[in-house]
Amino acid sequence: MGPAFVPSGASLPLAQTAKLSVSLSKSSHLTSSTRRCMLTMNGQSQQTENPAKKGKKGSDTAESVDVETVKTEIEQLRTMGLTKMYEIENSKELQNLKVELLGKKGSITSMVKVLGKLTPEQRPVIGAIVNEVKEELEQKFELRKAEVEELEIEKSIVDDKLDVTMPGIGRMPGHVHPIRATIQRAMDIFLDLGYQLVDDPEMSPEIETDYYCFEALNCPADHPARDMQDTLYLTDDQKYLLRTHTSSVQARFLEKVGPPFGIVCPGRVYRRDALDATHSFQFHQMEIMLIDKNITLGNLRATVIHFLEQMLGKDIKVRFRGSYFPFTEPSMEVDVFYKGRWLEVLGCGMVDPAVLEKAGYDPTEWTGFAAGFGIERFAMVIHQITDIREFTNNNMQFLEQFDFPYLRDA
């Protein structure tokens, strides 16, 4: 569980796809033919954008796409990307350009959607061109990244001249990091409720097996979470990987210790994601699991509300929405109304009987619930931080603005 991510291979929600398609259709380098194609993707036809045209004969049929035109558009995107790439002399701007072109919602990645408008004979041709351009740009970006980093070092040497004859200024004292503070604050809430902390290397390894990360949690082999685009596998047989969630700790504890128990499991997790203001390949999660006799949905609801009120204040509103996770049934997403808007903050549900059976326990005797959330998500909401990259920039000006009085005596 934890923060919601769109897994690779899954379709974007219709509203997001339409927004992306309209954005691309307005690009100056796209011809009218490709613009019309982008507006018809995922069922979002031109007639949806202009209701006045409904009812006209032939209005439901999208225009055909000329292959040569599509090839031209892809080449224009490639040329534009290379041109901008070599104009940039800043690492952050270069990364932003890479996400704009090659990210999950990038301009070149989105060109794949044109394939749906082509004949079966044309699709392999355009698909191969898109893949070649993506591979070329990936390589060029890596080379340019090294060049830009070298330019930045040279610039810093010139700009940050140091008089080595001046006396030293001493060593600055350390400061509690917002992530560490958020973990401690959330963890203390559950420890006060009697939960047991599980974060040792034996029960909570960051290098995990496919079994504990997926199979033991009722994730079938074809589940999107197993996709190479989401999971960082360490071996060719995909047996070992960097864990994608801390739910694997729950599977290990359930199998090796057994009920009754209540555990809280914080830890670092990894996913194959492009780095931008709201996503990272490395972040932190915290999950809880309670297994006992006669545990109900009411117990889960009361626990979640108590936790959120302790984290965000008593004046929040909480709502539960039906959702899906392979290891809980029923499953829910939880939103809070905080500082004037609704925010999705965690996922939860009753432990699926199949998970209990997999660990060797009778689901008619034992029941329980689980919940999970992203630490960075809570830290950004509480402290009004807009860019997740700030947490790893080691910027003292950023870190020194926070004060955590509840940790002073910890």
Question: 313-371 pLDDT, tens per residue?
Answer: 999 999 999 998 889 999 999 999 999 999 999 999 999 999 999 899 999 999 999 99
Q: Is pLDDT larger for residue 402 or for residue 301?
A: 301
What pLDDT, on a 0 to 100 scale, did the predictor assign at position 218? 85
Q: Is pLDDT larger for residue 372 or for residue 402?
A: 372
What pLDDT, on a 0 to 100 scale, did the predictor assign at position 353? 94
Residue 82 above 80 pLDDT?
yes
Residue 402 above 90 pLDDT?
no
- Measured in degrees and rounded to the nearest 5, phi and psi for residue 166 equal -75, 150
Residue 242 above 90 pLDDT?
yes
Residue 293 above 90 pLDDT?
yes
Range name among 146-155, 161-170, 358-367 with the lowest pLDDT average: 161-170
Q: Predicted confidence band at 275 (pLDDT cuts at 50, 70, 90)?
A: confident
What pLDDT, on a 0 to 100 scale, did the predictor assign at position 401? 85
Residue 290 above 90 pLDDT?
yes
Q: Predicted confidence band at 226 (pLDDT cuts at 50, 70, 90)?
A: low
What pLDDT, on a 0 to 100 scale, did the predictor assign at position 355? 92
Range name among 53-62, 224-233, 269-278, 310-319 with the lowest pLDDT average: 53-62
Structural tokens at position 111: 């060109």
SS (H, E, C) the chain: CCCCCCCCCCCCCHHHHHHHHHHHHCCCCCCHHHHHHHHCHHHCCHHHHCHHHCCCCCCCCCCCCCHHHHHHHHHHHHHHHHHHHHHCCCHHHHHHHHHHHHCCCCHHHHHHHHHHHCCCCCHHHHHHHHHHHHHHHHHHHHHHHHHHHHHHHHHHHHHCCCCCCCCCCCCCCCCCCHHHHHHHHHHHHHHHCCCEECCCCCCCCCEEEHHHHCHHHCCCCCCHHHCCCCCEECCCCCCEEECCCCHHHHHHHHHHCCCCEEEEEEEEEECCCCCCCCCCCEEEEEEEEEEECCCCHHHHHHHHHHHHHHHHCCCCEEEEEEEEECCEEEEEEEEEEECCEEEEEEEEEEECHHHHHHCCCCCCCCEEEEEEEEHHHHHHHHHCCCCHHHHHCCCHHHHCCCCCHHHCCC
For residues 120-131, give the mean pLDDT. 85
Q: Predicted confidence band at 106 (pLDDT cuts at 50, 70, 90)?
A: confident
Q: Is the dihedral of CA 399, 400, 406, 407 positive or negative?
A: positive
Residue 284 above 50 pLDDT?
yes
Global pTM exceeds 0.75? no
For residues 216-242, give the mean pLDDT. 80
Are the CB atoms for 101 and 107 separated by under 8 Å? yes
Q: Are strands 328-338 and 317-325 parallel, antiparallel or unpaired?
A: antiparallel
What pLDDT, on a 0 to 100 scale, did the predictor assign at position 27? 44
Whole-angstrom distance, CA of residue 63 vs CA of residue 92: 39
What pLDDT, on a 0 to 100 scale, did the predictor assign at position 165? 81
What pLDDT, on a 0 to 100 scale, did the predictor assign at position 309? 96
What pLDDT, on a 0 to 100 scale, did the predictor assign at position 163? 73
Q: How big is the chain, counted in residues?
A: 410
Are the CB atoms for 336 and 316 separated by under 8 Å? yes
- Structure confidence by residue, pLDDT tens digits, 38-51: 433 333 333 434 44
Q: Considering the chain, what is the average pLDDT of its residues? A: 81
What pLDDT, on a 0 to 100 scale, did the predictor assign at position 62? 40
- Return all residues near 156 (Cβ < 8 A) that are at least 6 apart: none
Q: Best-predicted range by mean pLDDT among 172-186, 192-206, 393-407?
A: 192-206
Range name among 49-63, 259-273, 304-318 with the lowest pLDDT average: 49-63
Are the CB atoms for 151 and 273 separated by under 8 Å? no
Report CA-CA distances (Å) from 62 to 11, 117, 348, 392. Answer: 20, 8, 42, 47
What pLDDT, on a 0 to 100 scale, did the predictor assign at position 15? 38
Whole-angstrom distance, CA of residue 204 vs CA of residue 252: 8
Residue 374 above 60 pLDDT?
yes
- Measured in degrees and rounded to the nearest 5, phi and psi for residue 241 equal -155, 165
Residue 24 above 50 pLDDT?
no
What pLDDT, on a 0 to 100 scale, did the predictor assign at position 277? 86
* % the chain with pLDDT above 90: 46
Order of strands across the sheet with 328-338?
Answer: 196-197, 261-270, 282-292, 367-374, 341-351, 328-338, 317-325
